[in-house]
Structures are given as C-alpha cells and as structure tokens.
Amino acid sequence: MANDYTKIPLIVIVGPTASGKTSLAIKLAKKYKGEIICADSRSVYKGMNIGTAKPNQKEQCDVPHWGLDLVEPGEYFSVADFKKYAIEKIDQIRSRGNVPFLVGGTGLYVDSVVFDYKFGPIADIELRTKLQHMEIIELHNYCIKNGIVLPENFKNKRYVIRSIERNGIKPEKLVRPMSNSIIVGITTNKDDLYNRIERRAEQLFASGVVEEAMSLSDKYGWDNEAMKSNIYPIIHQYLDSEIDYIEMKKKFVILDQRLAKRQLTWLKRNKFIQWLSVDDVNKYLSNQLALLI
RNA sequence: GGCGCGUUGACGGAACGGUUACGUAGAGGUCUGCAAAACCUUUUAAAUGGGUUCGACUCCCAUACGUGCCU
C-alpha cells in the first residue's frame, strides 16, 4: 500500500436501497484492505438491525464497519454529526494504510462528506420548539418581520424553521468532489430493483422485523424520528390491527420502492457519479484499487 | 317473482343541476444539523342506453350488474 497515506483514495459507492451496495462493498473491501463507513441515516441507530437491513454480524466481522449503532433511537443525530464522524474515520482508516469506503443510500450524508458541507449554526432547541408550535403562515410572517428570506421549499415547515435558525447564513459546499475520491453509483433496471425490494421484504419479515419493532417500541416508543422510518410505522399499524399481515407486507414494499425513487432523484443531481452496473462497478474499482498495491 | 338499496378514476371515498373534493397508489420534483424525514407539482372518473334541461356525475325512465328483505 502507498507510503503516503493521503494518496489513498476515498471510494464512494452509492445507489438506491436494495441495489447491492453493501455486499459489493464488503467484497471489495475484503480484497483490498478496505474499511466501510455506512452513510445511512438509519443504521446509526442501535437496535434497528433487521428493519434497516444492516450488515449482519458475520459481514461486520469480515470487514471493519463504521457508522453503525452510534446512537439510540430518539437521540439527536444529524448530517452534521455524521459528516464530522465520517471525516474522522476516513482519516483514521487512511492512517492505518487501509482504503476508506463510504457506502450508503442517504444522499445528503454522502454529499456532506464528498462536497465538504459547511453547516450553519446548530439548532437552538428552545427556539425550535417554539417555532414548531407555530403554523406555517405564522412562520412566514415571522420571516417577513425578521427579514429572513424564505427557502425555495417554503411550504415545508422544517425548511422554514431551519432558515430562521440559519438566520441568513448561506450554506457552502465544494463545487466538485473532494480530491482523491472515486464516486460510483450502481445502476439498476427498475423492474429488477422493485423485484429485489419485494424479495428482501419477505426476508425481513421472515427474519423477525415485527418482533424487532415490538421490542424497539417497548424501549423507545413509536413517536421518535427513528421509529418513523418507513417500515416501523407500518408494523405499528399492524400491531394496532389497523391493517392485516398481507396489507402490511404490501405497504412495506410500496414504501421501500418509493424510498428507492427518492434516493435516485437525489443522486441524479450529482454529476460526478459514474453510473455502472454492479458487475462493472466491481471491475472498475478492482482495477483502480489494484494500482495501489 | 315482488319491494328496496346501490353502481364515481388503479383503490378508498365525498359533495353538487353549471368552479372535474379529498386520501392512497402512479408519474415528476425540492433538499446543507430530524433526510428511510418533511414538502411541492401532476395524469386517470362518473355501469350502459335514452330522456328532462340553456346545461347532468348530480333529476326521470329502461337495461345490466351487485346487495338486502319478502313470497
């Protein structure tokens, strides 16, 4: 491996849920002394294993994984926290002479690292709570009164509140990805992807997501953001007998397919992603990584 | 056979004689401290055939289908 560890590239693998990122990354990382940082906003939560299709114990033993089980559901964790964590890990991995792999489907998380986002001020919880209790119209008025420019997405309460919190400070990012990074996206045929999502849903239920959700809700309740991730609210409905088992499964598949769509919508905007099929990503990255040895 | 009720878009589901509710799904999109979240835009309709009316998804008649009660 290169002596100057700053020359070790950052390998970034993105793609929608169920596109095969995880298994590919593990395969490559195993072969080329890699360590994986999961850029996934859900697998940071402890206990949410089956429902988030987290890498299993064996996979985690095969290759060092980072970014998993960082906080408990209900605890505060944001992109900014993730970025800080990831940058630190990338540096540490390189200093060991290993290759950092940033792998995940949360586009915002990936971009925050790759484009070195500069975040605004951290939320003032007191102010935020106050603002959250206001209607969207009141928030608009508040903005007008205080000279705060409304965000493009001005009907989105969250975004308006954040604009207020940022108080005019504009977000910053790199125009192009950080140097020495290789970004690849896994392309999938839509029908194939949707079928994979369906099959994976079956597996999740067979592996006991329902039981997992039950024990999580006992511990953390249903009302936190983490537990609002697509699958868990559906299980909640099922447990409350609002829907039956078949319906629950059906709904889950639909929700996951929608998730994949949104992920793709985000990723599409990044012009620096090289889109390839899983096999081609494998070949391409293998070639790149072989050069380092 | 008789009497009654119903038939709205992929699904659920309202109102109304003349502005094609709404929800879900579908399609497209937004996105820098909750992002598997939140939000925005948008396609698809009136069982069939007649009639009344300036105008009918909305009123009337018939037919079909479904449903309930009665013989």
Distance A97 CA to B53 C1' (A): 86
Nucleotide with minimal C1' distance from the CA of A267 is: B31
Alpha helices in chain A (DSSP H): 21-31, 57-62, 79-95, 107-114, 125-132, 136-145, 157-166, 190-206, 209-220, 231-239, 245-268, 278-290
Round and report the angstrom distance from CA (A251) to C1' (B25). Answer: 10
Q: Protein A261 CA to nucleic acid B48 C1', in Å?
A: 41
pLDDT value for A111: 98
CA distance readout (Å), A217 to A32, A74, A251, A278: 40, 11, 20, 36
Q: What tokens were used for A12?
A: 């970034």
Closest nucleotide (C1' vs CA) to A233 is B36
Confirm if A227 and A221 have CB atoms less than 8 A apart: yes
Q: What's the pLDDT score for residue A107?
A: 97
State the complex-level ipTM. Answer: 0.92
Nucleotide nearest to A269 (CA to C1'): B31
- Residues in chain A, pLDDT under 50: 1-2
Q: Which nucleotides of B are covered by protein (CB under 7 A)?
A: 25-40
Q: What is the DSSP string of A173-228?
A: --SSPPSSEEEEEE---HHHHHHHHHHHHHHHHHTTHHHHHHHHHHHH-S-SGGGG
Which nucleotide is nearest to A264 if distance is taken from CA to C1'? B29
Amino acid A114 CA to nucleotide B20 C1' distance, rounded Å: 47
- At A194, the amino acid letter reads Y
Question: Token digits for A238?
Answer: 């099922």
Instruction: Check residue A244 and give its pLDDT.
Output: 87
| pLDDT, tens digit, 9 for 90 and up, residues A110-143 | 999 999 999 999 988 899 999 999 999 999 999 9
Contact assessment for residue A209 and residue A42, using Cβ atoms and an 8 Å cutoff: no
Question: Do A90 and A25 form a contact (C-beta atoms < 8 A)?
Answer: no
The radius of gyration of chain A's CA atoms, rounded to the nearest angstrom, is 20
Beta strand A181-186 with A10-14 is parallel
Amino acid residing at A166: R
**Torsions phi, psi for A182 (to 5 deg):** -120, 120
Residue A287 (CA) to nucleotide B41 (C1'), in angstroms, measures 43
- How many angstroms is C1' of B46 away from CA of A163? 45
The predicted structure's pLDDT at residue A12: 98
In this prediction, residue A241 carries a pLDDT of: 86
Cross-sheet strand order for the sheet of A10-14: A65-66, A34-38, A99-104, A10-14, A181-186, A274-276
Nucleotide nearest to A224 (CA to C1'): B34
